[in-house]
Amino acid sequence: FAGYISQILKNYTDHACDGEYVSLRCPHKTTISIQSSFYGRIVPSHQMCPSRYPHSYATLIKEDVACSVGTSLQKMLDECQDRRSCQFLVNSRLFGADPCPGTGKYLIVWYKCRPNEYKSKVACEDDKLRLSCKKSMVIAIYSAIFGRTQGGSLECPYQNLGMPMIECQSATALQLMIKRCHGKRSCSIYASTYEFGDPCYPGIRKHLNVIYTCDNTPFLLPVDETQPPALNSSMEPVGVSTEMALLSNILAAYAFIT
């Protein structure tokens, strides 16, 4: 259906307060791939998930805004990973011991929709990568990495020149592959620093790893990977609100500090 390919390229975000249902859903022929998860509270209740009961100002200033549960990611993987859809009621009992009793908490989930069937191709640095689909089918790029990953690549073994194994990846690889190959029957690109820039220290040999699908969807919508969309109650992508954008920045800072 129209927009299928653009939907599987999106990064989705959903959230639910304590006592609400969280519901994740992916399009036909895809399954949920959990990217990250947070359960707890790191912003005051007047900014996110206000209490259902009236509170005096004295009570509000005592709420714990440095509260998080380390089991939220594993719980989301157990409940939703590799499923077409999932739904459950959010409450502290789901995540084990409550780290901040008396403080209302919330769950935020980041996920993608992974194709059930996909192909993977690797090209070593300065080699040409070619992608192609059968007649009447077009390419949909799911992910692209140019650089060196911690696990490395069997096709392009790491050359130890006395330097430690450090992960380094281009920040624009996915956007470039979408621009070159999205919606085409075939395409080719060199796995070179001329195309992708050099995200690594000099002397580190890199590779390009692309995961894609071939789909017969005739309609392709423009893809904007610069902002991961939030979800409304109908589970359609919508623009990220100012509050959610602020919260994402706060969570990123919190994760970095942790």
CB 205 within 8 A of CB 148: yes
* Rounded mean pLDDT, 74-100: 90
Has residue 230 been placed in a domain?
no
The whole-model pTM stands at 0.56
Which of these three, 59, 94, 115, is where a domain ends? 115
Q: Is 245 within a domain?
A: no
pLDDT tens-digit readout, 198-230: 998 887 888 999 988 887 754 443 333 333 333
In a domain, 210, yes or no: yes
Q: Residue 186: its pLDDT value, please?
A: 93
CA distance 146 to 191: 7
Q: What CATH number did the domain enclosing 210 receive?
A: 2.60.120.740
Please give the DSSP secondary-structure letter assigned to residue 213.
Answer: E
Count up the domains in the chain and report the number: 2
Q: Return d(Cα 127, Cα 129) in angstroms, integer.
A: 7
Q: What is the CB neighbour count within 10 angstroms for residue 26?
A: 25
Same domain (yes/no): 147, 71: no
Q: Which domain holds residue 150?
A: 119-215
Give the range among 12-26, 122-136, 206-220 with minimum mean pLDDT. 206-220
- Mark which of 91, 115, 139 sits at the end of a domain: 115
Distance CA 230, CA 236 (A): 8
Distance of alpha carbon 32 from alpha carbon 77, whole angstroms: 9
**At residue 38, what are phi and psi to the nearest 5 degrees?**
-140, 130
